[in-house]
Amino acid sequence: MPQTLDQIPFTRMDGREARLADYAGSVVMIVNVASKCGLTPQYEALQTLYQDKRDQGLIVLAFPANNFGGQEPGSNDEIRDFCSTQFGVEFPLAQKVSVKGADIHPLYAALIDAQPNATANEPSALKAKLDEHGLGPERATDVMWNFEKFLVGRNGDVLARFAPDIPPADARVLAAIETALDA
């Protein structure tokens, strides 16, 4: 019997095993992150979002991944230190995982299965640039790049998915979060 999304284990940055069930009753924004990406400044916006909405029940949960251009080469300790010193990150960080390919983490496989298509900018300069350099996703459902966002509702349903070049403060993201928090 396959595990439900909220029962798939992952390891937190502090080494403890966790599951989305640990955040039951919260709205969770899951983001694959990287320290050496042009989108890395989104950490600041994610921290602001977390500070502004955590009392209403929003959790930002970051999963470092080195799947895109080797932009997350650091160890878990280096990643944690970078996030803390450069962006004052207080939201939970998981240990580094793979978000695509043969070694995709089961949580990401389940997230993609639940929400195969991301809301994207049309046209997307990021997608065009990735495609130009042969770095675009192999399948339309793959995570496109660092900082793709999945929104999981209080009941554990995957409510939305946003392309990497849609920042955390985008009106579409904020509207989805508000709707989820009000549910």
Helix (H) or strand (E) holding 81: helix 76-87
- The SS3 of residue 93 is strand
Those residues with Cβ within 8 angstroms of residue 125's Cβ, 6 or more apart along the chain or in another chain = 165
Out of 37, 94, 130, 173, the active site residue is 37
CA 28 to chain centre: 10
Among this protein's residues, is 83 annotated catalytic? no
What's the distance, Cα to Cα, between the start and end of the chain in Å? 29
Helix, strand, coil content of the chain in percent (nearest 5): 35, 20, 50
How many Cα atoms are found within 13 Å in the side-chain-facing hemisphere of 76?
Answer: 13
Supply the residues annotated as catalytic. 37
